[in-house]
């Protein structure tokens, strides 16, 4: 009888211990002590944006923000760049400056290193801080293109003595082009009183999500990339240096009807992308208004999407032109259409198709495809920016770099008028506001949009890239 009692006690004790352990694991997981699924904090996606100083979100979001104390782009980092980050973290700015200068001699095309170098030169002295929110985890090339523009503007203003004597510091934020993370980044930036303005975000979906937070907290954000018409007039603190999709759609429609002499188009788009839907809708409206029509639409987001079958269907419905309103996530599907088309029908496309991958993979099949982009390095030979940027980066830069540079220049001009969050908003909204950017004068409409035409470019064989093809501006339109 005694042995049975002891056994029962042991069983009960064991069950009690297991229960405590289970409760402990649940508590740690829910508090952020254990990351679900083994994901690192940098890669974790949260179910809702944080509010205030949320303990669940702070560690993860902290890993996505850096002025130099951590690498956000570790791939390909030189040993001197890695050493510099450690030096900044320990407050040894002189060592960091030396290491970053050495790193940039090895890799001149590294915008993160140049930003950290300028930040290290500031050290602990007074400065004005802006943030650049970029999609490092989702589109590393796109992120670096934006950071080059921001870094160049920071480098120029600091070398010239700063903003009325005060240097500019840049905080880099990685949102992975994820709307949920973008919202959390926006909350973190608005809660940081040192951040006076934001450049970002990348996709229209991420920008729309973050803009709600910026507007609520009256922090100016300027997107150099997002073109969705939904951003027009979304709030008095939201601006962009890139023209909206309406400008691109109108230009492509006119080119199709007047230059190609075609009236019927098939549109390929991604229903899961705000940008893609916006460009498709604006193009359809413009085409109908100009006397043409969209005879068929094909959604990249459908699980059964097939480029070959879709192209056959477009031909059967009388399409004379293919319009690719693809976003970055569906570029591969768009290039499948390019290959299937095999130059049978003329191709039109939006600015997300303007990538080296289009030249590399599209190849001969992409020749004569016409794209609407905000800026091209060869379109304005009178501008000094193409020369200064090439000298700095040892390479030609894209429209994303130019428009990010313009966004930084706009914030710098706003800081020069009144270095407060409210002051920047008032400066950019003023009817007399103007700043000279890479792509010409920067002025904003009351909607926050930039009043600027787009540039049409065409794919041609050429030796300006290593792929044997290049984008060439179309003049006289």
| Per-residue model confidence (pLDDT) at position 1 | 41
Decide: 89 and 70 in contact? Cβ < 8 Å: yes
| Per-residue model confidence (pLDDT) at position 475 | 82
pLDDT band at residue 476 under the 50/70/90 scheme: low
Neighbours of 322 (CB within 10 A): 26
Q: What is the mean pLDDT of the chain?
A: 88
| Per-residue model confidence (pLDDT) at position 380 | 81
- Mean pLDDT across 435-454: 91
- Kindly state whether residues 232 and 273 are assigned to the same domain: no
Residue 390 in any domain: the answer is no
Q: Which residues neighbour 334 within 8 Å (Cβ) at sequence distance 6 or greater?
A: 268, 300, 324, 326, 349, 353
Helix axes 385-393, 399-417, angle to 10 degrees: 110
Residue where one domain finishes, among candidates 178, 210, 240: 240
Q: How many percent of the chain have pLDDT more than 90?
A: 83
- Kindly state whether residues 171 and 100 are assigned to the same domain: yes
- Kindly state whether residues 118 and 154 are assigned to the same domain: yes
Read off the pLDDT of residues 150-198 as tens digits, 9 standing for 90 and up: 999 999 999 999 999 999 999 999 999 999 999 999 999 999 999 999 9
Q: Which of these ranges, 35-39, 103-107, 354-358, has the smallest mean pLDDT?
A: 35-39
Edge-first strand listing for the sheet containing 455-461: 293-299, 264-269, 321-325, 347-349, 370-373, 455-461, 469-473
- Kindly state whether residues 260 and 285 are assigned to the same domain: yes
Neighbours of 141 (CB within 10 A): 14
Number of domains within the chain? 2
| Per-residue model confidence (pLDDT) at position 381 | 77
Neighbours of 138 (CB within 10 A): 19
- Kindly state whether residues 112 and 159 are assigned to the same domain: yes
With H, G, I as helix, E, B as strand and everything else as coil, classify residue 274.
helix
Residue 29 in any domain: the answer is no
Residue 384 in any domain: the answer is no
| Per-residue model confidence (pLDDT) at position 376 | 93
Look up the domain containing 233 and give its range.
Answer: 48-240
| Per-residue model confidence (pLDDT) at position 247 | 93
pLDDT band at residue 452 under the 50/70/90 scheme: confident
| Per-residue model confidence (pLDDT) at position 60 | 86
Short-list 327, 323, 326, CA closest to 287: 323
Read off the pLDDT of residues 211-264 as tens digits, 9 standing for 90 and up: 999 999 999 999 999 999 999 999 999 999 999 999 999 999 999 999 999 999
Residue 36 in any domain: the answer is no
Give φ, ψ of 164 to 5 degrees.
50, 40
| Per-residue model confidence (pLDDT) at position 47 | 28
| Per-residue model confidence (pLDDT) at position 236 | 97
pLDDT band at residue 24 under the 50/70/90 scheme: very low
- Kindly state whether residues 225 and 351 are assigned to the same domain: no
Give φ, ψ of 167 to 5 degrees.
-75, 160
Decide: 141 and 81 in contact? Cβ < 8 Å: no
- Kindly state whether residues 288 and 358 are assigned to the same domain: yes
Read off the pLDDT of residues 378-411 as tens digits, 9 standing for 90 and up: 988 778 999 999 999 999 999 999 999 999 999 9
- Kindly state whether residues 178 and 280 are assigned to the same domain: no
Instruction: Give the residue ranges of DSSP H helices in 160-258.
Output: 179-191, 204-216, 245-254
Q: What CATH number did the domain enclosing 172 receive?
A: 3.40.50.2300
| Per-residue model confidence (pLDDT) at position 103 | 98
Short-list 455, 459, 424, CA closest to 438: 455
Residue where one domain finishes, among candidates 215, 240, 265: 240
Buried b / exposed e along 84-100 (16+ C-beta atoms within 10 A) = bbebbeeebbebbbbbb
| Per-residue model confidence (pLDDT) at position 477 | 58
Q: Which residues neighbour 386 within 8 Å (Cβ) at sequence distance 6 or greater?
A: 377, 378, 380, 396, 397
Residue 11 in any domain: the answer is no
| Per-residue model confidence (pLDDT) at position 52 | 34
| Per-residue model confidence (pLDDT) at position 114 | 98
Residue 52 in any domain: the answer is yes
More confident residue, 27 or 362: 362
- Kindly state whether residues 57 and 142 are assigned to the same domain: yes
Residue where one domain finishes, among candidates 187, 217, 240: 240
Residue 444 in any domain: the answer is no
Read off the pLDDT of residues 113-152 as tens digits, 9 standing for 90 and up: 999 999 999 999 999 999 999 999 999 999 999 999 999 9
Kindly tell me if the per-residue pLDDT of 54 is higher than 80: no
Q: How many percent of the chain have pLDDT more than 70?
A: 87
Residue 435 in any domain: the answer is no
- Kindly state whether residues 135 and 77 are assigned to the same domain: yes
Kindly tell me if the per-residue pLDDT of 44 is higher than 50: no
Q: Which of these ranges, 1-10, 111-120, 406-415, 424-433, has the smallest mean pLDDT?
A: 1-10
- Kindly state whether residues 275 and 258 are assigned to the same domain: yes
| Per-residue model confidence (pLDDT) at position 26 | 35
Q: Which of these ranges, 18-32, 76-90, 304-318, 346-360, has the smallest mean pLDDT?
A: 18-32
pLDDT band at residue 451 under the 50/70/90 scheme: confident
- Kindly state whether residues 176 and 272 are assigned to the same domain: no
Give φ, ψ of 40 to 5 degrees.
-70, 160
Secondary-structure percent of the chain, ordered helix, strand, coil, rounded to 5 = 50, 15, 35
| Per-residue model confidence (pLDDT) at position 28 | 33
- Mean pLDDT across 96-111: 97
């Amino acid at each position: 009888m005694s042995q049975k009692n002891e056994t029962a006690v042991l069983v009960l004790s064991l069950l009690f211990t297991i229960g405590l352990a289970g409760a402990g694991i649940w508590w740690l997981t829910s508090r952020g002590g254990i990351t679900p699924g083994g994901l690192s904090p940098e890669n974790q996606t949260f179910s809702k944006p944080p509010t205030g100083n949320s303990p669940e979100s702070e560690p993860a979001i902290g890993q996505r923000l850096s002025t130099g104390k951590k690498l956000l782009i570790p791939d390909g980092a030189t040993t001197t760049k890695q050493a510099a980050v450690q030096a900044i973290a320990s407050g040894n700015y002189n060592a960091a400056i030396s290491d970053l200068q050495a790193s940039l001699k090895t890799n001149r095309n590294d915008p993160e290193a140049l930003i950290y170098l300028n930040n290290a030169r500031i050290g602990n002295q007074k400065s004005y801080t802006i943030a650049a929110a970029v999609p490092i985890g989702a589109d590393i090339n796109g992120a670096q293109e934006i950071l080059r523009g921001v870094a160049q503007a920071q480098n120029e203003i600091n070398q010239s003595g700063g903003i009325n004597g005060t240097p500019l510091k840049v905080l880099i934020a990685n949102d992975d082009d994820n709307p949920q993370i973008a919202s959390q980044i926006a909350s973190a930036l608005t809660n940081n009183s040192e951040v006076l303005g934001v450049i970002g975000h990348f996709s229209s979906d991420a920008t729309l999500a973050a803009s709600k937070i910026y507007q609520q907290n009256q922090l100016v954000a300027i997107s150099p990339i997002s073109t969705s018409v939904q951003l027009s007039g979304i709030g008095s603190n939201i601006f962009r240096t890139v023209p909206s999709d309406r400008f691109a759609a109108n230009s492509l429609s006119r080119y199709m009807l007047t230059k190609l002499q075609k009236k019927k188009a098939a549109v390929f788009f991604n229903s899961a992308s705000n940008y893609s839907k916006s460009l498709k809708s604006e193009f359809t409206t413009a085409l109908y208004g100009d006397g043409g029509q969209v005879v068929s639409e094909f959604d990249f987001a459908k699980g059964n999407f097939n480029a070959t079958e879709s192209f056959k269907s477009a031909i059967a419905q009388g399409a004379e032109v293919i319009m690719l309103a693809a976003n970055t996530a569906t570029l591969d599907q768009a290039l499948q259409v390019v290959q299937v088309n095999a130059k049978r029908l003329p191709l039109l496309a939006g600015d997300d198709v303007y990538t080296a991958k289009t030249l590399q993979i599209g190849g001969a099949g992409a020749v004569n495809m016409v794209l609407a982009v905000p800026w091209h390095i060869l379109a304005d030979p009178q501008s000094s920016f193409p020369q200064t940027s090439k000298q700095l980066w040892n390479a030609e830069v894209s429209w994303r770099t130019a428009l990010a540079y313009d966004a930084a220049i706009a914030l710098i001009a706003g800081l020069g008028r009144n270095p407060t969050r409210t002051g920047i908003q008032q400066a950019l909204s003023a009817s007399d506001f103007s700043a000279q950017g890479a792509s010409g004068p920067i002025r904003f409409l009351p909607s926050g949009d930039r009043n600027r035409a787009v540039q049409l470019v065409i794919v041609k064989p050429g030796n300006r890239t290593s792929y044997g093809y290049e984008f060439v501006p179309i003049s006289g339109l």
